[in-house]
Amino acid sequence: MRLGLFVILYFFFKWLFNYHKEQAVTAITRSVCALGLTLGILAGHQLYLVFLDVGFDRFTVAPVTGLSGNKNILSGTLFMLLPFLLLGAYRSEKKIRWLYILTILLLTYILWQLRTRSILIATLVFSIMALLCYWYGAYKNKFAKTVLIAIPSISVVLFFMLFFLGYLSEVSEFLQLKAGSKTGTLAERFVIWEKSIELYKQHPFLGVGSGNWKIAFPEVGLEGLSRAEQTTTFFARPHNDWIQILCETGIIGGLLWISIWISLFWKNSVILGSSIIQKQVIQRSLILAGSIGFAVFSAFSYPLERIEFIILLALYIAFLNHRLTSKNKSKKIHTHRIFLITTIAFLGIASVYGFLRIQREYFINAIKDKTVKNQQIFNSDYYHPTIYSITPIGIPVKYYEGISYLQTADYNSAIKAFQEALLIAPNDLPTHLNIGVSYFRSDQTEKALYHYHTALKISPKHQNVLFNTAALYYKLRDKQKALEYLNKVQDDYPRKKEFLEAVYQL
């Protein structure tokens, strides 16, 4: 669905640029300015409230989300607006240029205060590439051309070395990334990226299917991911769109995605080298550098899952692919009409997707609430065969139905619901754990043991699974096995001390 929307938006924007040229660019930059100013004011207000409460640092600004789900997505959106704002400031008349400059300063200040590391890196890359593109396009400098080609080429080689030759773990050790420290999230991502490459190697040609990374990821195990070993933590994405595309679509989709970027970069490098009009050089330089910045950002985050980035990426690529000259005369259309159409289209598409997302989250939160309150869950509460069969983090919705039956001691119904959940996500650890509990409580110990061991293959150090496995062997009066698994449970685990004493009395 997102791919179809991207294609439609791409051809719409390209039609605007090809047939309405200057008017379209002016209207687009004005729309971006209005959007940027709105988001900037909202995020600035949130920053002010945070400052009054606790002050600024990278962790206290987490509640600053604007209209996005989190601060990283907000930072990415603001960053993607900057190249078009700079373009608007360059093209606009003096009487409205101050509005663009004010918006640029506001967004830059907010980005600095949010301190999203991936965006800071993307901004640095954008600045360097914009200068190189302009240097090459305006002065036809051969050194600038060499550096311009060398940077993406070296990046591709480094990507291959890191992810396919096993250097990622060495980089992690060199940087002394440790889980639980301030760099813990980056260390965790390194582990996820390594395991994602393992997943790709198991499905090299066609991948695991679009949107299925979160379901297939447990196939390669959760060992080394401390949060998943200590608690039931779910990973919905690898925080790297390049790796996610490779895992979900295989080498075919991965090469297609890379070829799009290579052709885009190569085509615009040729245009910059042959262009003699400074205005065209500046425009191409800003937007090409902005698209490269997006590519860098997407290597540390998941912008392709968000509708705002799909719209902005379609806008970027359409601008970079539109014809500089056309045999067709530019059709006359009032700039304010394009501005109005573009703004309404952006808000309309974002609103529809937002409504569908909120609707889905409403139903999912409702069944979670029923689960907590030990209330029975029915199909009418949640079920839609294509939309509501799985949560955004990869948990089958039938899992919650199984939990509700388990809490009311209806073990046969719980087992049936969990089995249906496993048909959707066969490697879902919580489902294996809780179907094991259901079998255990209904005295089907062999089946319970099978699911506990399956869960341990996914996460060998998961505390709940280890404790439950020890309890099962205790029930079977196998003291040695019970102690084997119980000794792997951390000492501060609830009820371990009392249970250990009971095992020793066997």
Nearest to 317 by CA among 83, 74, 104: 83
Record the tokens describing residue 117, joined without a space: 């590391």
For the ranges 374-383, 408-417, 489-498, which has the lowest average pLDDT?
374-383
Query: Average pLDDT, stretch 400-426?
Result: 89
Which of 227 and 439 is assigned the larger pLDDT?
A: 439
Do 208 and 195 meet the contact criterion of CB atoms below 8 Å apart? no
Query: Average pLDDT, stretch 275-292?
Result: 88
Q: What is the model's pLDDT at position 451?
A: 95
For the ranges 87-91, 376-380, 408-412, which has the lowest average pLDDT?
376-380
What pLDDT digit, counting tens, does each position of 147-164 carry? 888 888 888 788 777 766
Confidence of residue 181 (pLDDT cuts 50, 70, 90): very low
Residues facing residue 390 across a β-bridge:
396
Count, residues in the chain: 506
Q: What is the model's pLDDT at position 344?
A: 63
CB atoms inside a 10 Å sphere around CB 115: 15
Confidence of residue 95 (pLDDT cuts 50, 70, 90): confident
In percent, the amount of the chain with pLDDT more than 90 equals 31
Query: Average pLDDT, stretch 417-442?
Result: 92
Backbone φ and ψ for 57, nearest 5 degrees, come out as: -160, 180
Confidence of residue 436 (pLDDT cuts 50, 70, 90): very high
- Residue 182 pLDDT > 90: no
- Residue 13 pLDDT > 60: yes
Q: What is the model's pLDDT at position 323?
A: 61
- Residue 371 pLDDT > 60: no
Confidence of residue 60 (pLDDT cuts 50, 70, 90): confident
- Residue 339 pLDDT > 70: no
C-alpha 417/C-alpha 138 separation (Å) is: 65
Do 68 and 35 meet the contact criterion of CB atoms below 8 Å apart? no
Q: What is the model's pLDDT at position 58?
A: 64
Record the tokens describing residue 134, joined without a space: 């302009």
Which of 5 and 256 is assigned the larger pLDDT?
A: 256
pTM for this entry: 0.82
Backbone φ and ψ for 421, nearest 5 degrees, come out as: -65, -40
C-alpha 309/C-alpha 305 separation (Å) is: 8
- Mean pLDDT across the chain, nearest whole number? 82
Confidence of residue 53 (pLDDT cuts 50, 70, 90): confident
Burial of 55 (0-12, 13-18, 19+ CB in 10 A): exposed
Query: Average pLDDT, stretch 347-355?
Result: 59
Tell how far CA 153 is from the center of its chain.
25
What pLDDT digit, counting tens, does each position of 211-245 carry? 889 888 988 888 878 777 776 677 888 989 999 99
Query: Average pLDDT, stretch 384-402?
Result: 70
Largest Cα–Cα separation, the chain:
92
DSSP letter string over 483-499? HHHHTTS-TTSTTHHHH
Q: What is the model's pLDDT at position 119?
A: 93
Which of 122 and 17 is assigned the larger pLDDT?
A: 122
Q: What is the model's pLDDT at position 356?
A: 59
Dihedral angle over CA of 52, 57, 63, 67, nearest 10: 100
Q: What is the model's pLDDT at position 245?
A: 92
